[in-house]
Amino acid sequence: MFIDSHAHLTSPDVYPDIELILARAKDAGIEAIMNICTNPDTLQKGLELSKRYPWVYNSAATTPHDVGREGEEVFSIIAECARNGHLKAIGETGLDYYYTHSPKETQKAFLIRYFHLALECKLPVVIHCRDAFADFFDILDAEYAGRGRGVLHCFTGTIEEAQEVLKRDWYLSLSGIVTFKKSIELKEVAKLVPLNRLLIETDTPYLAPQSHRGKRNEPAYVTEVAKLVAEVKGISLEEVAESTAFNARQLFNL
Ligand code: NI
């Protein structure tokens, strides 16, 4: 049984087909999905969805892309939801200096606020970090490390950056990107990350694995990520499934 540690099930591209998508996930052996809510609409749908499908859990935050536009108004809604015990994690929050859709200073300020919310509610954080590892580790070490747990989602950093994540006893999550032919260093990362620090995810609807490239992604395809990890580590698919699912249950307290 597999756990998809990161999927946007209630995004407009996915939600209209949710019944079929979840049925296919069940058939593929997916036992749980962490649904990532990024605004009040996807959050509201996520809360309804997990009532109907108790194996779907919710995490929420405004993404680093959108904090400049609506970070302030959405923060209080997410904070209330977290304080009421409706969330299993805070995120995806973080820093994205590749796109910089929001000013860097705004991204940093919200990352800190979400770290503090996670500590207050004793929840783990789900982090999006792209081209911003130096600032991310500075903020992590100052505001959160040693006190709270977390995962670097859809990790696409270098081997050195992976080691920095592991040094802090964090988890690292690999997406379909690791299956792409050009992802040579990322395959090295998959090889070196100890099995007890690794999660797998789809990031549905984005980043479909090589075999479905260009199509809408869905949780059933997380098995492709697991297969790649098994291949580069030279271990069985069952071992990857079991360990990554165990890690997700530990991290998110499922
Ligand atoms: Ni995401």
CA of 27 from ligand 1 middle (Å) equals 23
Would you state the pLDDT for residue 84?
98
CA of 90 from ligand 1 middle (Å) equals 12
Question: Peptide bond before 64: cis, by omega within 30 degrees of 0?
Answer: no
CA of 243 from ligand 1 middle (Å) equals 22
What six digits make up the tokens of 218? 């869905």
What is the C-alpha to C-alpha distance for residues 89 and 244, in angstroms, rounded to an integer? 17
CA of 207 from ligand 1 middle (Å) equals 10
Dihedral, CA of residue 149, residue 153, residue 158 and residue 162, to nearest 10:
20
CA of 55 from ligand 1 middle (Å) equals 19
What is the C-alpha to C-alpha distance for residues 130 and 18, in angstroms, rounded to an integer? 29
Q: pLDDT tens-digit profile of 167-214?
A: 999 999 999 999 999 999 999 999 999 999 999 999 999 999 999 999
Q: Which residue matches tokens 């499908």?
A: 53
Q: pLDDT tens-digit profile of 70-124?
A: 999 999 999 999 999 999 999 999 999 999 999 999 999 999 999 999 999 999 9
Would you state the pLDDT for residue 226?
98
Would you state the pLDDT for residue 142?
98
Which residues on adjacent β-strands are paired with residue 198? 172
CATH code of 2-252, in short, is 3.20.20.140
| 33, 9 contact by CB (below 8 A) | yes
- Alpha carbon 72 to its chain centroid, in Å, reads 22
- Answering whether pTM is above 0.85, one says yes
Looking at the chain, the whole-number percentage of residues with pLDDT higher than 70 is 100
What is the C-alpha to C-alpha distance for residues 196 and 10, in angstroms, rounded to an integer? 29
What is the C-alpha to C-alpha distance for residues 111 and 33, in angstroms, rounded to an integer? 24
Q: pLDDT tens-digit profile of 137-147?
A: 999 999 999 99
Would you state the pLDDT for residue 54?
98
Q: Which pLDDT band, with edges at 50, 70 and 90, does 31 fall under?
A: very high
Question: Taking residues 3-22, what's their average pLDDT?
Answer: 98
CA of 31 from ligand 1 middle (Å) equals 19
Question: Peptide bond before 160: cis, by omega within 30 degrees of 0?
Answer: no
Q: pLDDT tens-digit profile of 48-63?
A: 999 999 999 999 999 9
Q: pLDDT tens-digit profile of 219-249?
A: 999 999 999 999 999 999 999 999 999 999 9
CA of 154 from ligand 1 middle (Å) equals 8
Dihedral, CA of residue 198, residue 200, residue 208 and residue 19, to nearest 10:
-170
**Burial category of 250 from C-beta neighbours within 10 Å (exposed 0-12, middle 13-18, buried 19 and up):** middle
CA of 199 from ligand 1 middle (Å) equals 14
CA of 128 from ligand 1 middle (Å) equals 7
CA of 36 from ligand 1 middle (Å) equals 7
